[in-house]
Structure 1
Amino acid sequence: MEFGLARPILVFDSGIGGLSVLSEIRQLLPSNDFYYLFDNARLPYGELTEQVLVDGCVELVVSAATKINAALVVIACNTASTLVLPVLRSKLTIPVVGVVPAIKPAASHTLSGHIGLLATPATVKRSYTHELVTKFASDCQVHMFGSSELVMMAEQKMAGVPVDMEKLTGILAPIQATQVDVLVLGCTHFPMLAYELSQILGPGIKLLDSGFAIASRVQHVLEGLGEHQHPAPNSMKAWYTTPSLTLGLIQSLTDYGFSEIAPFTH
């Protein structure tokens, strides 16, 4: 493939959580073009029924990937990844990379034998998640904690609203009541709160997320496709599904590096 013709990468999430994954991908692929599509009209995904989630995601992602002639799609949402990957892969001819909670590395990092998984209520309930635990952490005690509130806290932080540390302390209290020494951030929104989580949980609990692993996978797949980075400066465009965004969120997305922020049109 000639330089300058590398196709863009589409990163999809329910909100701003996928930016934690996009940051890692940009570290490895600094000159690729990215489109970031977030379905904030239906946030939080952890509260949706499975069929509504699948139908909406598939329609949006297929439409966007086709529109931009994407090289690859990243589903940067744990809740969606547990459900939509097989359907998307059947409808697209390009690779689709999903997010997997970092259960496997957590099992090798723990000294106490107690692992925590902090995710959305939907991810905590999915059989897919329990299969990961059985496969990679059967000799560990895995404590699961589901919270949609943290998703909205991360969204508000990105929009410029300070995190309510007292409220966050209350949400995290059940984790501190266990012997957990490794906490898997099983929602891509949660690394956005890593500083606040560490402040409350302290140095005795190591936080793990899947960002770097997903970025490495994306790099590997693109190399296999022969999609080369091009020498021109990369462009980053963000699409959302609500009629408008708050000024705080627009400012944060601009600061992040997006040159275009617009509502998604099919």
Structure 2
Amino acid sequence: MINSPTILFFDSGIGGLSVYREVKTLLPNCHYLYCLDNAFFPYSEKEEQAIIERCVAICKKIEQDYPLDLIVIACNTASTVVLPALREAFTCPIVGTVPAIKPAAQKTESGVIGLLATKGTVKRPYVDKLIQDYASECRVSKLGSTELVKMAEEKLQGKPVDPIRLLLEIKDWREDLALDTVILGCTHFPFLKSELMASLPQVKYFLDPSKAIAKRVKDLLGEVTGQSTKLNKVYCTQEQHLLLNVFEQFVFSELKILSMEK
């Protein structure tokens, strides 16, 4: 039983809000912090060791402001590399975000699965191991896209999604009529779900792990008593136009810029 715990969400961009909104639905009375390492965005094109070092350093810096009860790495790319280092550096629970490969293998009717993720995630040995362990009898088509990540960021900032630009990113899948299940393997992609559904009409299932992550967070924290009186705060690593406007829609009211070496 914890009295209004402080939960930190960490991502390189604003895609992690897809996980945050599910956690907040289950746990409305917690104190929420969100950090986007936008000076280093996108993580998918950065070296693994650099991601590990920045992630640990940034979370440590935030911990100086608030004792953290739980950290959610709301980024698939970061989760594939940083979890062991974070668990060594912090005593609080660390929850990662990994592609829903096992549920996809259980859900597919045709045996053909698409993994839509960042270029970094689709190359990780960790992902190959998940496929080998849980989807070895399926055909898994991996598609890594930085462009779709940028499109999701732009959509959240109020820009319309260009359907032609989106179609160019997924054109190979449009011809794969056996594809019936797509894993949204980046936290940005649930924000493009309606556009993806319209562009891939043969796909029956789009799998987003956010609800499962929220349940995991709730299980780890147990019963939450009381209601937080602290303001929800956003941390970023470089100034970004209209950033707070986006986060205000998700009940964040303060913004702090962290000074980090790139």
Question: Aligned to 1:67, what secondary structure does the other structure show?
Answer: coil
Partner of 1:52: 50
Find 1:72's aligned residue among 55, 70, 73: 70
| Percent of residue pairs identical | 45
Find 1:22's aligned residue among 20, 35, 54: 20
How far, CA to CA, are the matches of 2:77 and 2:104 in structure 1? 19
How far, CA to CA, are the matches of 1:210 and 1:70 in structure 2? 23
- Asked whether the 8 Å contact 1:29–1:229 carries over to 2, the reply is no
- CA deviations 1:140-169 (Å, max 9, x no partner) are 111100011111111111111111111101
CA deviation after TM superposition for structure 1 residue 252, in Å: 1.9
Once the two structures are superposed, the pairs formed by residues 72-151 of structure 1 within 5 Å of their partners are 72-151=70-149
CA deviation after TM superposition for structure 1 residue 245, in Å: 1.8
Find 1:6's aligned residue among 4, 8, 15: 4
How far, CA to CA, are the matches of 1:259 and 1:149 in structure 2? 29
How far, CA to CA, are the matches of 2:230 and 2:29 in structure 1? 5
- Structure 1 runs of 4+ aligned residues shifted over 4 Å read none
- CA deviations 1:112-141 (Å, max 9, x no partner) are 000000001111010100111111111111
CA deviation after TM superposition for structure 1 residue 232, in Å: 4.9
Residues 23 and 85 of structure 1, relative CA distance in 2, 3 Å threshold: same
State the number of aligned residues. 259
Gaps of 5+ in 1: none
How far, CA to CA, are the matches of 2:255 and 2:112 in structure 1? 42
Are 2:240 and 1:245 aligned? Answer: yes
How far, CA to CA, are the matches of 2:203 and 2:148 in structure 1? 21
How far, CA to CA, are the matches of 1:66 and 1:91 in structure 2? 14
CA deviation after TM superposition for structure 1 residue 261, in Å: 2.2
Partner of 1:259: 253
TM-score, with structure 2 as normaliser: 0.94
Gaps of 5+ in 2: none
- Asked whether the 8 Å contact 2:39–2:237 carries over to 1, the reply is yes
- CA deviations 1:59-109 (Å, max 9, x no partner) are 111221343101010000000000000001111111111011111111111
Root mean square deviation, CA, Å: 1.7
How far, CA to CA, are the matches of 1:180 and 1:203 in structure 2? 7
TM-score, with structure 1 as normaliser: 0.92
